[in-house]
Copies of this chain bind each other. A is one copy, B any other.
């Protein structure tokens, strides 16, 4: 363990990563660089700086990555209508690649030979951090204290903190949430506690970002989203940066009881786990993106995207953002979005996201052909006979040779 000289730690400023900070110094006899990022989790960063300084850290990186996060990670992912296992919008998964990238970049800038994080050995996040780090800096040393140390109970952690004079906010401790939580601009997640019983309904007080559908306003909210190349660039005509879009949609969604999710999912490490998520803005974005695609995307392109989406979701969920297969898929997805321009009108009401209008200069919807009224010859109904006859040919040959199809 003597071969680590300097380690960059993903540092939240909380108790756990403060203990890790100390533990790294003691165990590896190494210098620690802290990295704390604002991804929209809704916490002040300055206390993390103060705490790091207090613990003697010399190189402290504090960064506001909200715009980069939404522009280069969240938006590209939503272009694919990405959903994991039919439900999960990948709010945690999509934040990890950016943190991994910055850890590596800071390691390169500071001459560190290792990185460290506070993810446990049971979860997906360790995988996402480390796959990213190895992909971007193949010789990096990764230290995952939760897999190494023996501080495996809250009591041991507290004892360690006390012993090493790590400041514990006891007031806060007393009111500590029973849930393991993670937040960024895209979502907040909850695991553990009573959620470990899949038959138990989450308590209302658990949720932090959204009101319940019951508590949401009795009047719907209508908004208009403007798309350019598959991304939202304006809300109700007001042009916004990517992270401003998401911030605003989070507020609108949260206020209307939108985006709560409660599922059992399959982790990459092989176990099932229960998770609850609030993704107000993302839930609106998914519905609205499908709506703008519905009039602008060619059918076969849309279907190909749908068939590849679960694979793309798996790639991201499993931590392979920084991989050639993700780039390959992204290339294809992005190419498809050149024409995804226009506006979608959405109704928000007590948990519901209802697209009620879509319009685009790039629309492929052709009223003159689709109409039930006289189409003035735009479409020759007689063509359908040949279309059906030849599509049926293989079935008719099979049937005429005695194949049973019912």
Contacts and interface: CB of A to CB of B under 8 A. Distances in A.
Interface in A334-369: 335-336, 339, 345, 347, 349-352, 354-359, 362-367, 369
Contact of A351 (B264, B350, B393): B350
A384 B121 contact: yes
The dominant DSSP class at the A interface is: mixed
A220 B322 CA distance: 44
Contact of A405 (B300, B307, B322): B322
Interface string A118-160: 0011100011001100111111001010110000110000000
A63 interface: no
A301 B331 CA distance: 13
Given A152-B374, A380-B389, A406-B101, A310 B303 contact: yes
Contacts of A395: 131, 134-135, 138, 322-323
Given A135-B392, A264-B295, 7 more contacts: A126-B388, A131-B392, A266-B302, A266-B394, A272-B299, A331-B335, A386-B389
B381 A387 contact: no
A406 to B, nearest CB: 6
Given A332-B328, A351-B351, A398-B364, A384 B127 contact: yes
B369 A85 contact: no
A55 interface: no
A306 interface: yes
A272 B335 CA distance: 21
Interface centre among A85, A199, A201, A323, by most chain B C-beta atoms within 10 angstroms, is A199
Contacts of A206: none
A64 interface: no
Given A122-B379, A274-B365, A354-B262, A201 B138 contact: no
B385 A383 contact: yes
Contact of A304 (B325, B366, B380, B386): B325
Contacts of A260: 354
Contact of A396 (B138, B214, B320): B138
A397 B270 contact: yes
Contacts of A228: none
A271 B363 CA distance: 12
A168 interface: no
Interface stretch (A14-22, A30-38, A190-198, A229-237): A190-198
A59 to B, nearest CB: 22
A277 to B, nearest CB: 13
B201 A345 contact: yes
Nearest to A394: B270
B351 A324 contact: no
A391 interface: yes
A110 interface: no
Interface string A298-330: 111111101100110010000010111101110
Contact of A214 (B147, B218, B332): B218
Q: Which 10 A-B pairs have the closest CB atoms?
A: A386-B386, A121-B381, A270-B393, A266-B299, A383-B386, A134-B392, A201-B356, A138-B396, A135-B395, A300-B325
A318 B150 CA distance: 34
A172 interface: no
Given A122-B381, A306-B85, A358-B199, A399 B295 contact: no
Nearest to A347: B201
A357 B263 CA distance: 9
B400 A389 contact: no
Contact of A397 (B142, B291, B306, B366): B366
A400 B214 contact: no
A29 interface: no
Contact of A198 (B214, B299, B359): B359
A109 interface: no
